[in-house]
Structure 1
């Protein structure tokens, strides 16, 4: 039993190292410029160690992109509209330092090369924002008649564009301010009731 636990822990550490190494390589070189050998070298494992956990470079890229929401955890618990704001601001603040988020931001531009049919990062994030806005609407936080789906798409599109322009102009350093600006413009259109906080997402 003890031996099995040790092996499992070792396997989990190796998988985590491979994911981190892959994220760093993808963030630096993009999907096309990355190779499994580069990822193995960066992770400090053998090629066999990579292939034990992931069958291909495509599978690694998919795991990073589809796992993006798991890497964005706001420091404070919230729900509804406040949660949507907290998640986007936490993402914006962590993007500079997180290899996983940097890789995800770069990989979304090449996702047609590795995502399977029906998978789409933008749709994934839109679905999450829809859930938060629906909770806000159910709680009476939003004005009647707000188009939840359209507003969620607008939030995701605006944050994606802000990320791209922020990278070009400041290397993402001003992304939190850009995301906050997006929300300050959108809140009147949402007719938000109650006090909404622009919390520190560090």
Structure 2
């Protein structure tokens, strides 16, 4: 068990180091040598987990989706909003989120298939919206898959604009404005009035999640 935990920690350290390098330099200019330097790992440790730079980048992209987990809510659309706000908050300084974000929207490199990330985010959002539909939270006119793709694409654009203007410091507020304009188009009125779209919600949720993770570690 101790060996397995050590392997998990090593893999995570490599991913975070790689993500920070991708965030700083992009995919094409990133080097395995710099990843190793930042991670403080040997080549053997890295290649045990990842066979190439491409595999490393794809793992960072996939980890971005896996990392977003929020507390269940009575209203499923609130979970959808919460996931967006937690991601917006983490994009300020979380290495995995920032590295994956640059990899996802970076132009110029043809060596990395980004469709997997967009598809994963689309499936994640579609799942939340599908559950919201099952609970009667969505207007009848909403097409779940098209709406999911709209939100994924819009978020990518919002974070690019926020990166240009404030290094993503204002992303949570920009996302709140987006939700204020779009939620009335998809949520039934009785659900809409109960949604908390506060731009500070992501910070509060992340703090609660952090405390929960610390409690889990202490309990082991």
Paired residues for 1:174-185 under 5 Å: 174-185=170-181
Alignment of 1:1-202 (within 5 A): 5-74=1-70, 76-78=71-73, 80-110=76-106, 112-115=110-113, 119-192=115-188, 193-194=190-191, 195-198=194-197, 200-202=201-203
Q: Give the deviation of 1:169 after TM superposition.
A: 0.5
Q: Between 93-102 and 148-157, report the one with greater CA deviation.
A: 148-157
**Under a length normalisation based on structure 1, what TM-score does the superposition of the two structures give?**
0.89
Tell me the C-alpha RMSD between the 2 structures: 1.8
1:182 deviates by: 1.0
Counterparts of 1:191 and 1:98 in 2: how far apart (Å)?
A: 31
TM-score using structure 2 length = 0.82
- 5+ residue gaps, structure 2: 204-220
Report the Cα offset of residue 7 of structure 1.
3.3
The CA deviation string for residues 115-162 of structure 1, in whole angstroms up to 9 with x for no partner, is: 38xx42122111111111111111111111211112111111111100
Deviates more, 1:130-139 or 1:169-178: 130-139
Give the CA deviation at 1:112: 4.6
Contact kept? 2:64, 2:100, Cα under 8 Å: yes
Q: Decide whether the 8 Å contact of 2:22 with 2:30 is kept in 1.
A: yes
Contact 1:80–1:134 under 8 Å retained in 2:
no
- Flag structure 1 segments of 5+ consecutive residues without an equivalent: none
User: How many residue pairs end up in the alignment?
Assistant: 195
Report the 3-state secondary structure (helix = DSSP H, G, I; strand = E; otherwise coil) of the residue aligned with 1:114: coil
The superposition leaves residues 6-39 of structure 1 with CA deviations (integer Å, 9 ceiling, x where unpaired) of 4333323322221111111111111111111110
Structure 1 segments, 4+ long, off by >6 Å, are none
Task: Please give the alpha-carbon distance, in whole angstroms, between the structure 2 residues aligned to 1:152 and 1:103.
Answer: 23
